[in-house]
């Protein structure tokens, strides 16, 4: 029996999923080890080995692939604990990185500060070189200019160097010369240049992304080396793959070349898993939401493809590499409730975090949080939180809600808790609206997939606000990201700038740029990652706009159209996409179009694990009722005694009627008065509004089959 293992390292827990060649799944959570997260990584493998019944050695030798999502680079950016980084740039442009085009995000807040630049001004050096806007040399670059800079870099113990020159997207020769010289003279120091990271027009985007890559580079490399060593020491002979922000996976050596590709490594797995699960149910489009302790992530999948964006920021640092489009808002189990000076109740975005956490954790927290409200409303079982590992103190939660909020609002504790629940749901619904409606998608046409420990007791109210009739809680909901890691393909994104109007476009150049990127992709996939040629496919993307517009549309094109220079088809697709996003196209007016960048995504399909479905030892749902408990029913605005189901029992194919709570060790699912649910063959829960039984679904012999949606 062979295994594939997905490992997602989070702040508190390291999540693991192991799928065998026969489709058997083991799901496990172990404590993270933030000082050196590779320890938790190996611990996790050891514990899963035990659960599999095999010896550790035997288990390890049977693993084919480990796919890993890491937050090493994300945390470096959030805590500013990256490498000591220098920037070398063109004379006259020393400050573009720190200026951030002069933005202050909060315009009415005079206390609001700029971010700390990842390369401080005294480590930003300039050299007297210049390319013009067409890529012609205006001022020749002389390596000798680097000598005093190299000396300062050594004197200051700089650990990482980024190089970004003006207009290098047109001509990178000076950058190439510079890094060659630097690498020769700065042994042991990480050196990267913008043409390696993001060779496209827009200086600010490029310099920022390159510096981010340099800032996280040495740390990511060190982490991966350490991990590879540890895996060698346990005799692991399989493949290690790293999850990237774009939802694809790559080998560690590729990551080391451009470490910035991992800044969203963790959350990127949720929509990747979402794409897989929605396909299982016959859906092409889905929204995935993941509610954890401090934040709520929402992402979108269209036509079984995760939606990517190049508009990303982390901690206000601009990263223009293609990343999955994920909205993060400050709403989680730890979000605190507070009253503003007008006496209005607010939730978050501040969080009680994991320490001290919500009041009911009884670890010294005094400010009421979302989890405290959930407990008072009866949605959480004080004796079965995380399967009983953490006892919740209801009395303390009640007292803090009373003292901090209820007494000041003139409401009862229950009314206040219900208010907290409503407001945080409305905040999360706003996040979902942002990822869907504001991007031109109607969320009602999407399968809504709920992940994360805290999500599934809030999802029915979020859906109600957005009129989404149904949501899915996958069987692996709480370790959804780890599962997603096993489902990602090998993906490489390439970009070249080619700024021209279509009237002046050069056929040969256009095609050769794509061929160039194709060769880069084949090189990485075939030579370095050993993918068979017949598993490789190409997805060209054109950054286009109508002449005179400022914001371009990233438009997917067809590979054949690109290779055959079939512009009519490309134009047609662009008008269509523009119309979808903005409600109009200028096709009739015959407005000229221009192109800014060409991109190519090269994908090597990985072998996907098979998940086992069905179970012979099924029991009827009534047998899974473990108790009755009072919970708050939003529709009735009062408490009501309802059955509590054990969601870890084999109840495949059953229908469960709301109101009730389905408790699993890792999560709870709330069905309010107006919801029912069916458990599908994979043990996932499909929750739907009673009157609005989802179109395309049929219940046959208590089993769910799904028609093409």
Cβ proximity to another protein: between 384 and 574 the closer is: 574
Sign of CA dihedral 169, 173, 174, 177: positive
x/- contact string, 170-209, with another protein (CB under 8 A)? -------------------------------xxxxx----
Does residue 503 bind another protein (CB under 8 A)? Answer: no
Tokens of 317: 């640092």
Does residue 104 bind another protein (CB under 8 A)? Answer: yes
Does residue 103 bind another protein (CB under 8 A)? Answer: yes
Minimum distance from residue 124 beta carbon to another protein (Å):
9
Tokens of 238: 């399989």
Does residue 106 bind another protein (CB under 8 A)? Answer: yes
Cβ proximity to another protein: between 109 and 616 the closer is: 109
Cβ proximity to another protein: between 132 and 225 the closer is: 132
Applying CB under 8 A, the span of 288-296, 298-306, 546-554, 689-697 interacting with another protein comes to: 546-554
Does residue 427 bind another protein (CB under 8 A)? Answer: yes
CA–CA distance, 426 with 457 (Å, rounded to integer): 14
Does residue 584 bind another protein (CB under 8 A)? Answer: yes
Minimum distance from residue 291 beta carbon to another protein (Å):
18
| Burial class of 701 by CB neighbour count within 10 A (0 to 12, 13 to 18, 19+) | exposed
Does residue 167 bind another protein (CB under 8 A)? Answer: yes
Give how far the C-alpha of residue 84 lies from the chain's centroid of Cα atoms, to the nearest Å. Answer: 27
Can you name the residues that pair with 704 across neighbouring β-strands? 699
Could you give the strand order of the β-sheet that contains 553-556, starting from the edge strand earlier in sequence?
Answer: 25-31, 13-20, 3-9, 63-69, 239-243, 249-250, 490-501, 593-604, 536-546, 553-556
Contacting another protein (CB under 8 A), which of 1, 519, 582, 630?
582
Cβ proximity to another protein: between 2 and 433 the closer is: 433
Helix, strand or coil, per DSSP, at residue 331: coil
Does residue 111 bind another protein (CB under 8 A)? Answer: yes
Does residue 426 bind another protein (CB under 8 A)? Answer: yes
Minimum distance from residue 700 beta carbon to another protein (Å):
36
Minimum distance from residue 443 beta carbon to another protein (Å):
13
Minimum distance from residue 427 beta carbon to another protein (Å):
7
**CA 132, 135, 138, 144: dihedral to nearest 10 degrees?**
120
| Burial class of 56 by CB neighbour count within 10 A (0 to 12, 13 to 18, 19+) | middle
CA–CA distance, 261 with 197 (Å, rounded to integer): 9
- Which of the residues 17 through 36 are near another protein (CB under 8 A)? none
Cβ proximity to another protein: between 22 and 122 the closer is: 122
Contacting another protein (CB under 8 A), which of 48, 221, 300, 345?
345
CA–CA distance, 395 with 359 (Å, rounded to integer): 10
Does residue 548 bind another protein (CB under 8 A)? Answer: yes
Does residue 105 bind another protein (CB under 8 A)? Answer: yes
Radius of gyration of the chain (CA): 27
Does residue 139 bind another protein (CB under 8 A)? Answer: no
Q: Where are the alpha helices (DSSP H) in 470-620?
A: 480-485, 507-522, 559-563, 567-582
Does residue 148 bind another protein (CB under 8 A)? Answer: no
Helix, strand or coil, per DSSP, at residue 274: helix
DSSP 84-148: -EEEEEETT-TTHHHHGGG--S-TT-TT--PPPPSS-GGGEEEES-EE-TTS-EEE---GGGHHH
Cβ proximity to another protein: between 105 and 225 the closer is: 105
Cβ atoms of 593 and 546 within 8 Å: the answer is: yes
Applying CB under 8 A, the span of 42-50, 416-424, 483-491, 604-612 interacting with another protein comes to: 416-424
Does residue 590 bind another protein (CB under 8 A)? Answer: no
- If we measure between CA atoms, which residue out of 137, 119, 120 comes closest to residue 128? 137
Residues that bind another protein (CB under 8 A): 91-96, 98-99, 101-114, 120-122, 132-133, 166-167, 169, 201-205, 340-346, 409, 411, 418-419, 422-423, 426-427, 430, 433, 437-438, 499, 548-551, 581-584
């Amino acid at each position: 029996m062979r295994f594939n293992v997905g490992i997602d390292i989070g702040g508190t827990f390291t999540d693991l999923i192991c799928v065998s060649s026969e489709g058997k799944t083991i799901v496990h959570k172990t404590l993270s080890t933030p000082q050196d997260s590779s320890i938790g990584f190996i611990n996790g493998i050891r514990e899963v080995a035990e659960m599999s019944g095999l010896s550790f050695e035997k288990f390890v030798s049977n693993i084919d692939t480990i796919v890993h999502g890491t937050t090493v680079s994300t945390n470096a950016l959030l805590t500013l604990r990256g490498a000591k980084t220098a920037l070398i740039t063109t004379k006259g442009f020393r400050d573009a990185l720190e200026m951030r085009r002069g933005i202050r995000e909060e315009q009415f807040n005079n206390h609001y500060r700029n971010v700390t630049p990842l390369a401080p001004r005294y480590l930003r050096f300039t050299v007297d070189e210049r390319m013009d806007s067409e890529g012609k040399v205006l001022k020749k670059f002389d390596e000798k200019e680097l000598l005093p800079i190299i000396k300062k870099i050594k004197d200051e113990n700089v650990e990482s160097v980024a190089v970004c020159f003006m207009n290098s997207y047109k001509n990178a020769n000076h950058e190439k010369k510079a890094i060659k010289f630097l690498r020769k003279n700065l042994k042991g120091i990480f050196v990267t240049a913008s043409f390696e990271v993001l060779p496209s027009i827009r200086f600010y985007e490029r310099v920022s992304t390159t510096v981010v890559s340099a800032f996280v580079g040495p740390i990511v490399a060190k982490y991966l080396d350490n991990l590879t060593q540890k895996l060698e020491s346990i005799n692991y002979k399989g493949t290690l793959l790293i999850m990237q922000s774009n939802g694809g996976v790559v080998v560690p050596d590729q990551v080391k070349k451009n470490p910035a590709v991992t800044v969203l490594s963790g959350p990127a797995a949720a929509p990747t898993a979402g794409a897989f699960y929605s396909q299982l149910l016959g859906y092409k489009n889905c929204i995935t939401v993941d509610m954890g302790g401090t934040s709520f992530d929402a992402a979108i999948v269209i036509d079984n493809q995760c939606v990517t964006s190049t508009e990303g920021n982390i901690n206000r640092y601009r990263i223009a590499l293609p990343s999955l489009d994920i909205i993060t808002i400050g709403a989680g189990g730890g979000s605190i409730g507070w009253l503003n000076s007008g006496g209005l109740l607010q939730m978050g975005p501040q969080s009680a975090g994991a320490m001290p956490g919500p009041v009911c954790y009884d670890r010294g927290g005094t400010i009421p949080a979302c989890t405290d409200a959930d407990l008072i409303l009866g949605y959480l079982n004080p004796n079965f939180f995380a399967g009983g590992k953490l006892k919740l103190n209801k009395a303390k939660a009640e007292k803090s809600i009373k003292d901090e909020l209820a007494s000041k609002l003139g409401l009862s504790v229950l009314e206040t808790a219900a208010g907290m629940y409503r407001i945080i749901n409305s905040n999360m619904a706003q996040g979902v609206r942002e990822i869907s409606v504001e991007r031109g998608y109607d969320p009602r046409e999407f399968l809504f997939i709920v992940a994360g420990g805290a999500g599934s007791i809030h999802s029915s109210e979020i859906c109600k606000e957005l009129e989404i009739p149904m949501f899915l809680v996958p069987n692996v909901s709480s370790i959804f990201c780890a599962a997603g890691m096993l489902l990602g393909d090998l993906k490489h994104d390439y970009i070249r700038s080619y700024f021209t109007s279509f009237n002046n476009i050069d056929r040969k150049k256009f095609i050769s740029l794509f061929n160039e990127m194709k060769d880069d992709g084949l090189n990485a996939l075939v030579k370095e990652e050993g993918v068979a040629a017949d598993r490789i496919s190409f997805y060209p993307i054109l950054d286009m706009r109508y002449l005179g517009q400022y914001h371009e549309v990233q438009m997917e094109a067809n590979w054949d159209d690109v290779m055959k220079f079939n512009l009519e088809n490309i134009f047609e697709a662009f008008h269509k996409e523009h119309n979808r996003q903005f409600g109009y196209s200028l096709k009739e007016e015959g407005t000229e179009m221009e192109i800014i960048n060409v991109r190519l995504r090269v994908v090597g399909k990985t072998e996907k694990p098979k998940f086992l479905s069905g179970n012979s030892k099924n029991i009827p749902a009534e047998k899974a009722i473990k108790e009755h408990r009072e919970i708050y029913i939003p529709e009735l605005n009062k408490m009501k005694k309802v059955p509590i189901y054990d969601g870890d029992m084999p109840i495949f194919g059953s229908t469960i009627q709301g109101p009730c709570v389905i408790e699993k060790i890792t999560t709870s699912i709330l069905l309010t008065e107006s919801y029912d649910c069916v458990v599908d063959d994979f043990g996932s829960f499909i929750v739907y509004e009673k009157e609005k039984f989802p179109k395309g679904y049929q219940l046959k012999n208590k089993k769910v089959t799904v028609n093409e949606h």
